[in-house]
Structure 1
Amino acid sequence: MKDSSTSDDRAAPSRAARPWYRRLGMQVLVALVAGIVLGIVAPKWATQLKVLGDIFLALIRAGVAPLVFLTIVHGIASAGDVRSAGRVGWRSIVYFEVVSTIALALGLLVANLLPIGEGMAAVTANGPAVSVAKASPQTFTGFIMHIVPDNFIGAFAKGELLQVVVLAVMVGIGILAIPDERRARINEGLGMVSDVLFAFINLVMKLAPYGTFGAVAYAVGSNGTAVLVALAQLVLSFYAVIVLFVVVVMGAIAKLSGFSMWRFMRFIKDEILIVLGTASSESALPPLLLKLERFGCERQTVGLVLPTGYAFNLDGTSIFMAMGVLFIAHAYNVPLTLAQQLGILLLMLLTSKGAATVSGGSFVVFAATVTSTGILPVEGLAVIFGVYRFLSMAIATCNTIGNALATVVVARWSGTFDAQAAQRYLYPERYPDIDPDDSLAVHPDELPGNHAGASR
């Protein structure tokens, strides 16, 4: 357990409250609403603003792979021994699998109770045709071979997060075999490089409102209201299940871990709004790495759990895949027995681990699952693709909240969580010396290369 006095010493100094219009969360919220309005009022012009969202996500992706690599390597190397890193690692995997299974089961249950998709076979998607050839069935052997990189640089160039995680774990364990004096210098160097990447990400995050505005305006303008009305049952049902999962399942997990889920979500509200607007959980990864450490989780635990969760703990993706499969089955009158649904559930436990963290990755994996079943018509993919953009907003948001929660739970489980530090952000009214809205400010003593921060 960490020394609580360290967190108190590193708390942000008292700052005057900033005007609402200067807070990033409010700027993103305004941009989100403005994008929706523009997409409805001037759809042709709105579709041309897609470039704003693409630029923002491209800049985020440029820094995510090296940032994930450095945080995992630094986390393992700073742990001091393989046993310490392994303890956090196996607990993370257990948590990821249990919660992902619950998410899949909930999606199947709701989709069975609510016959979403019935009578929808005649609906024609307005979006472009889906290339099912890219979503070939993935066997267990193929999945394992895919996550093992055959080129060190290629994993970064292709943005293969699973391969980057594997490389980072192997490099981190390799560093543990280096003598202590040399390892200390390596850790210092890793921290200095991380400082540069965090500075880059901080600058990029200032563009989040523009990226959100362009992405949402394009989504509404390109799909139009007709598709939204036609597939309203699927969209509204999916959003309701996501809310149910966050409130009930995640809320219960947070309660068992000793804190309020609502207050925790208030702490990460800026990241939630950014992900909701960009439909990419990747956009929240860099700031969450800092915020969760500030919240009271040890840097080593954050560096191991959060990036790994982005590859293995995709609750929103799991719910989407479960409901999507039943939607296609209902739409095309394909009966699925309980045994078939359980078989598909096991298949989705495997295929969901290959989902990319960028917008659209979940759909490619979903398409792979549909084609792998051999009993569902692939034409149903085009139907869902028409509104996938709106579904992906909820998918990415649920994935982000789930991974942030997983990091805190595993940290508490592993004894690397400072509950007193968390209280300062869960109950800011009791601690007037901090500004809870200063969510993305990086203080010098919290950067990975700082010795005071490293002591955590």
Structure 2
Amino acid sequence: MKKIFTNLTFWVLTAITAGALLGHFMPETGQQMQPLGKGFIDIVKLFISPIIFLTISLGISGMGDLKKVGKVGGKALIYFEVITTFALVIGLVVAHFIRPGDGVVTSGLGGGDVSKFQESAEKGFSWWQFLKDNFTIQVLLFSIAFGIFLSKYTGRQRIVSVLTLLSGYVFKALHFVMLFAPIGAFGGMAFTIGKYGIKTLLPLGKLMLSVYVTMALFIFVILYLVLRYYKISLLKYLNYIREELLIVLGTSSSEAGLPSLMEKLERMGCSKPVVGLVVPAGYSFNLDGTTIYLSMATIFLAQVYGVELTIAQMFTIIGILMITSKGAAGVTGSGFVVLASTLSAIKVIPVEGLALLLGVDRFMSEARAITNFIGNGVATIWIANNENEFDRAKMHYAFENIQETEDIIEDNLEWGEKPV
């Protein structure tokens, strides 16, 4: 019993339940809990850039062979494009056959202001804007350059020692912050239920159900097969990252679990350079859940307005989303900007239809975030195996001693100790 009450997973799950109940029965009070969820995510975000910098810089400097760095990066980009294309096609096919938009009445639904999304859509997708606004990518590129510099610098040992010591402090501070994850999960769930309410789900329930089912199929079929290729159990992996999944669920943000995911992937056998390169890049380029949602939302709106898309238009949607979906993590609300850009490019579906999705988007963000989160972990494991940068003995130990791993990560590191 004592172990249950000191388990972070138990408290996060309890907080999510309490937040949902508060938001449902006391909606006004639930909405006032927003700062708790938003504040927790904002604090965790502060750790993402330092962890990316330290992980990549130390990893590349210790790898020695710079050709291998380029090889890993190239494989990662190819993997991202192949898997997200699968996600895109699955979303389109499921939405086409289930037809969640049939029978939806446009009057009385949504009503949100979509003018800002229309304005952004008119500008179109810009790679320069994407790189300029996505600070994670900027840090990633700088870290790679600095890591390459360190690998060639003759006096690198002193710098590496300092960075290694700093890495221990950063992870220790992160472990302390993660103790407040239940508070963040409580605030995020209470606000969502309190503001939008369960009743807002009913008119668009078929769309929500379709999105959740499609993402489940993607995880338990496509990602299952990806891991199965290297004889790794998807269910054991999901059980291994259960705490992070609950945190992502409660906060509706994959960022909340990103630093912990990187650490757990290293502890289960993925090499530090692979983790440092693949996870941050995947955060912007491997958004499986977001891709599924964008494709299904496009078909949904076409069905709502009675627009029968031709084969050519379907391929146009696939082509556009293959590019624009890569920028969906760049700015807050950018998912709607990407969707608005897609609708504007097709020119047959009213952009005003986005108002239908504003009310229920928050309820589907959990599914998007969790799918993105799981997908990036699977990508890292696959590439680490493909590059022979994976320690299976570590994986078996981590899977068989999950509680021990969580205890180490949460409590047992001393200041200055190297986290992995």
Is the structural similarity TM-score above 0.5? yes
- Superposed, 1:159-170 pairs within 5 Å as 160-170=135-145
Q: Following the alignment from structure 1 to structure 2, what is the Cα–Cα distance between the partners of residues 420 and 446?
A: 27
Write out per-residue CA displacement over residues 76-127 of structure 1, whole angstroms, 9 at most, x where no aligned residue: 2221131121121111112111111100010001010111112224254457
CA contact (8 A) 1:250 1:402 kept: yes
Please, what is the CA RMSD of the aligned residues? 2.4
Structure 1 residue ranges without an equivalent (≥5):
1-16, 150-157
Matching of residue 392 in structure 1 with residue 377 in structure 2: no
Matching of residue 110 in structure 1 with residue 100 in structure 2: no
State the match for 1:265 in structure 2: 238
Q: Following the alignment from structure 2 to structure 1, what is the Cα–Cα distance between the partners of residues 121 and 408?
A: 41
CA contact (8 A) 2:166 2:416 kept: no
State the match for 1:423 in structure 2: 396
SS at match of 2:153: coil
Q: Following the alignment from structure 2 to structure 1, what is the Cα–Cα distance between the partners of residues 102 and 416?
A: 53
SS at match of 2:121: coil
Letter in 2 for 1:340: Q
State the match for 1:10 in structure 2: none
Comparing 359-368 with 399-408, greater Cα deviation is found at 359-368
Structure 1 residues 211 and 124, CA, compared in 2 at 3 Å: closer, same or farther? Answer: farther
TM-score, normalising length: structure 1: 0.86
SS at match of 1:172: helix
Structure 1 residues 217 and 23, CA, compared in 2 at 3 Å: closer, same or farther? Answer: same
- Superposed, 1:211-226 pairs within 5 Å as 211-226=184-199
State the match for 2:117 in structure 1: 132
State the match for 1:98 in structure 2: 82
Matching of residue 201 in structure 1 with residue 170 in structure 2: no
CA contact (8 A) 2:91 2:293 kept: yes
State the match for 1:153 in structure 2: none
Q: Following the alignment from structure 1 to structure 2, what is the Cα–Cα distance between the partners of residues 446 and 82?
A: 32
CA contact (8 A) 1:147 1:163 kept: no
CA contact (8 A) 2:172 2:415 kept: no
Structure 2 residue ranges without an equivalent (≥5):
none
Q: 1:296 aligns with which of 258, 269, 272?
A: 269
Write out per-residue CA displacement over residues 256-285 of structure 1, whole angstroms, 9 at most, x where no aligned residue: 111110011000011111001101000111
CA contact (8 A) 1:212 1:274 kept: yes
Write out per-residue CA displacement over residues 181-235 of structure 1, whole angstroms, 9 at most, x where no aligned residue: x122222222222223222221221111111111111111111232111111111
CA contact (8 A) 2:117 2:336 kept: no
State the match for 1:146 in structure 2: 129
Q: 2:13 aligns with which of 13, 29, 35?
A: 29
- Superposed, 1:35-74 pairs within 5 Å as 35-74=19-58
Letter in 2 for 1:92: A
CA contact (8 A) 2:106 2:356 kept: no
Matching of residue 178 in structure 1 with residue 147 in structure 2: no
Letter in 2 for 1:114: I
Write out per-residue CA displacement over residues 381-429 of structure 1, whole angstroms, 9 at most, x where no aligned residue: 1111111111110000000001111111110000010011101123349
Comparing 348-357 with 320-329, greater Cα deviation is found at 348-357
CA contact (8 A) 1:72 1:307 kept: no
Q: Following the alignment from structure 1 to structure 2, what is the Cα–Cα distance between the partners of residues 72 and 324?
A: 36
Q: 2:224 aligns with which of 228, 251, 270?
A: 251
CA contact (8 A) 2:34 2:187 kept: yes
Letter in 1 for 2:94: V
Give % identity.
36
- Superposed, 1:5-24 pairs within 5 Å as 19-24=3-8
State the match for 2:386 in structure 1: 413
CA contact (8 A) 1:295 1:425 kept: yes
Structure 1 residues 89 and 191, CA, compared in 2 at 3 Å: closer, same or farther? Answer: same
Letter in 1 for 2:407: D
State the match for 2:337 in structure 1: 364
SS at match of 2:199: helix
State the match for 2:410 in structure 1: 441
Matching of residue 228 in structure 1 with residue 201 in structure 2: yes
State the match for 1:324 in structure 2: 297
Q: Following the alignment from structure 2 to structure 1, what is the Cα–Cα distance between the partners of residues 343 and 60?
A: 37
TM-score, normalising length: structure 2: 0.93
Q: Following the alignment from structure 1 to structure 2, what is the Cα–Cα distance between the partners of residues 322 and 117?
A: 13
Letter in 2 for 1:113: F
State the match for 1:11 in structure 2: none
Comparing 58-67 with 356-365, greater Cα deviation is found at 356-365
Letter in 1 for 2:24: I
SS at match of 1:135: helix
Q: Following the alignment from structure 1 to structure 2, what is the Cα–Cα distance between the partners of residues 363 and 447?
A: 43
CA contact (8 A) 2:137 2:280 kept: no
Structure 1 residues 138 and 177, CA, compared in 2 at 3 Å: closer, same or farther? Answer: farther
Q: 1:346 aligns with which of 299, 319, 338?
A: 319
State the match for 1:154 in structure 2: none
Write out per-residue CA displacement over residues 421-452 of structure 1, whole angstroms, 9 at most, x where no aligned residue: 101123349xxxx72553742654997847xx
Q: CA deviation at 1:173?
A: 2.5
Q: 1:84 aligns with which of 57, 68, 80?
A: 68
Comparing 391-400 with 26-35, greater Cα deviation is found at 26-35
Q: CA deviation at 1:175?
A: 2.9
State the match for 1:8 in structure 2: none
Letter in 2 for 1:36: A
CA contact (8 A) 2:124 2:341 kept: no
Letter in 1 for 2:299: L
Q: Which structure: greater helix fraction?
A: 2
SS at match of 2:390: coil
Q: Following the alignment from structure 1 to structure 2, what is the Cα–Cα distance between the partners of residues 53 and 92?
A: 32
Number of positions where the alignment pairs a residue of Structure 1 with one of Structure 2: 419
Q: Following the alignment from structure 1 to structure 2, what is the Cα–Cα distance between the partners of residues 396 and 288?
A: 13
